[in-house]
Amino acid sequence: MRLLSPPLITVLLTVLSSTRSEPQGFPNRPDTDLRAALERRIAAQPGAEVALWFEDLASGRTLGIADTLTFHAASTMKVPVMFELFRRADEGTLDLDDRIPLVGRFASIVDGSSYALDPADDSDDALYDRIGAPISYRELNERMIVRSSNLATNVLIERLDPTRVTALARSLGGEGVVVRRGVEDGVAFRAGLNNVTTARGLGKLLAALERGEVASPWATQAMRGALLRQEFNEEIPAGLPPGTPVAHKTGWITATTHDAAIVYPPDRPPFVLVILTRAIPERADAQRLMADLARIVWESYPPINPPRAP
């Protein structure tokens, strides 16, 4: 399991420090220009439904487009699951290094019927070879966030209780974020019982994480580190300058692609950007759209401080 390297931790701590020392945040430009540019790009994608939430974490300035519209959460719901896990670790009710059985079957929330996940539909299919063996909470979280493992997610959800995950999300301002079930609970899906989110609600959760409101400092650093190690970077990060640190979580199902990010520019305070999409049949088209929207946000604001001479 990869850990957050000391140099990267140092960079992030410097960024966080600069956030507190730059209360003005992004320059106070009219939002109308940025909104118009974003809406033009969205309109250029036939049939697409898109929600977006932007928040400047220094000034608190926000911009939303359809930001309270409810979407199937896909794997973005793994963010509040991680929050609940680290809250429990903070409370001392579990130890992240405790090892539990890696089970392969789960109970539907509708009728308790048993179901299993299909490794072919999981982005981390290697974990299935370890079913029946012990695994730590720490590794389950790493695989859930970094590799978006559905198997790890379901093991954690059954241990943590979706109602508690949702309650924590709501307490942190996660408006419209509801975690009801594990992945591939087909009986629940057919009953309309899905995990859902809004762009604003998911953005508020990431902002709470960056402000240190979710858990203790060590837990905040650990969660941020996992999000920074995300291995799927074809959406928001693809629209940013190469090498820009992005702590984010993607999610996708049929015709639905999301990304929710904290972006750390080198020359201005961090910002939150959440983009949710649906009704785009080809995932590559959704990824291009999301990268373009991220690029528009990035290019709409000049650096707060001019680059220093070497």
Could you read off the pLDDT of 97-138 as tens digits, one per residue?
999 999 999 999 999 999 999 999 999 999 999 999 999 999
CA distance 217 to 82: 15
Least confident of 167-171, 189-193, 217-221, 306-310: 306-310
pLDDT in tens, 8-65: 444 444 444 334 333 344 444 457 899 999 999 999 999 999 999 999 999 889 999 9
Question: Are 228 and 234 within 8 A, CB to CB?
Answer: no
CA distance 33 to 297: 11
| pLDDT attached to residue 300 | 86
DSSP one-letter string for the chain:
-----HHHHHHHHHHHHHHHH-TT-S----HHHHHHHHHHHHHTSTT-EEEEEEEETTT--EEEESTT--EE-GGGGHHHHHHHHHHHHHHTSS-TT-EEE---EEE-TTT--EEE--GGG-TTGGGGGGTTSEEEHHHHHHHHHHS--HHHHHHHHHHH-HHHHHHHHHHTT-TT-B----TT-HHHHHTT---EE-HHHHHHHHHHHHTT-SS-HHHHHHHHHHHHT-S--SSGGGGS-TT--EEEEEEEETTEEEEEEEE--SSS--EEEEEEEES-SSHHHHHHHHHHHHHHHHHTS--SSPPPP-
- What is the residue-averaged pLDDT of the chain? 90
CA distance 117 to 225: 27
Phi/psi of residue 271, each to 5°?
-140, 155
Give the count of beta carbons closer than 10 Å to the beta carbon of residue 128: 16
Give the count of beta carbons closer than 10 Å to the beta carbon of residue 69: 17
Question: Are 67 and 76 within 8 A, CB to CB?
Answer: no
Closest CA to 150 of 182, 197, 115, 107: 182
Domains detected in the chain: 6-77+86-92+172-299 (3.40.710.10)
Tokens of 137: 């909470």
pLDDT in tens, 170-208: 999 999 999 999 999 999 999 999 999 999 999 999 999
pTM: 0.88
Helix axes 31-43, 283-299, angle to 10 degrees: 160
pLDDT in tens, 222-231: 999 999 999 9
Give pairs for 170-175: CB < 8 Å, separation 24+.
172/83, 172/204, 172/205, 172/208, 172/213, 172/214, 173/201, 173/204, 173/205, 173/207, 173/208, 174/80, 174/201, 174/202, 174/204, 174/205, 175/68, 175/200, 175/201, 175/204
| pLDDT attached to residue 302 | 58
At 303, the pLDDT band (50, 70, 90 cuts) reads low
Tokens of 235: 């959406």
CA distance 258 to 73: 8
